[in-house]
């Protein structure tokens, strides 16, 4: 019985196309294996530069919705990051300090 409930719960957690939430990045990222790093591997060098930046292309190109603009600063959900590097390349001011998470942390694809 308890096992059945477990299976049912697990099934619910798997986003299936018929469901609404499955088009969200957030929901999709739940499927990935992930080891959280204690510190962010993405660092904004100078927030003033971001305030001056009109387009904020980092927010646009990120496939994992890592960046959000709130109260005059970038909120970085680095534990969503899939480590592609797009944000660093599109930043017109080279204002994003990018490295990969250390010691094998971060995302791990099961399929790839």
Partner 1 sequence: MVEKFDVVVVGAGPAGVSAAIVTARAGLNTVIIERGNIPGEKNLFGGVLFKHPFEKLIPDFVKTAPLERKVVEYQYWILLDDSFIKLVYRDDAFENNPSGYTALRAKFDAWYAKKAQEAGAMLITRTQALEPIIKDGKVIGVNTDRGELFGNIVIAADGANSLLAQKAGLHDEWKPHQLALGVKEVIEVQRTKIDEMFQVKTEEGVAATIIGGPLKGMTGGGFLYTDREALSVGIGVLLSDLVSNNIRPNKLYEKFKRHPAIYPYIKDGILKEYSAHLIPEGGYNAIPKLYTNGMMVVGDAALLVNVVGWEGTNLAAESGILAGETAIYAHKVKDFSANVLKIYETKLRNSFVLRDLRKFRRIPPFLYKNKHFFSSYPEMLRDILRLWHTVDGEPKEIKIKRIRDVIISKVGPIKLIKDISDLIRGILF
- Rounded (5°) CA angle 73-103-58: 25
Residue whose CB is less far from partner 1, 1 or 33: 33
Min dist. Cβ of residue 83 to partner 1 (A): 7
Exposed/middle/buried for residue 11 (C-beta within 10 Å: 0-12, 13-18, 19+): exposed
User: Is residue 45 involved in binding partner 1 (CB under 8 A)?
Assistant: no
Residue partners of 52: CB distance under 8 A and separation at least 6: none
User: Is residue 94 involved in binding partner 1 (CB under 8 A)?
Assistant: yes
User: Is residue 110 involved in binding partner 1 (CB under 8 A)?
Assistant: yes
Contacting range for partner 1; rule: CB under 8 A; set: 1-9, 44-52, 68-76, 89-97: 89-97
- Rounded (5°) CA angle 24-78-100: 120
User: Is residue 47 involved in binding partner 1 (CB under 8 A)?
Assistant: no
Asked if 47 contacts 74 with a C-beta cutoff of 8 angstroms, the reply is yes
For residue 17, report the phi and psi dihedrals to the nearest 5 degrees. -60, -30
Binding test (CB under 8 A) with partner 1, winner from 64, 66, 74, 76: 64
Binding site for partner 1 (CB under 8 A): 14-17, 22-23, 25, 28-29, 31-33, 35, 55, 57, 60-65, 82-86, 88-90, 94, 98-100, 102-104, 106-112
């Amino acid at each position: 019985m308890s096992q059945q409930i477990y299976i049912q719960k697990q099934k619910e957690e798997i986003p299936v196309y018929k469901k609404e939430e499955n088009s969200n990045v957030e929901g999709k990222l739940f499927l990935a294996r992930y080891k959280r790093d204690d510190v962010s591997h993405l660092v904004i060098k100078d927030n003033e530069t971001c305030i001056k930046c009109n387009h904020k292309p980092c927010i646009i190109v990120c496939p994992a919705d890592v960046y959000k603009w709130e109260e005059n600063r970038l909120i970085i959900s680095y534990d969503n990051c899939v480590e592609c590097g797009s944000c660093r390349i599109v930043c017109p001011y080279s204002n994003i300090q990018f490295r990969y998470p250390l010691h094998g942390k971060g995302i791990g694809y099961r399929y790839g």
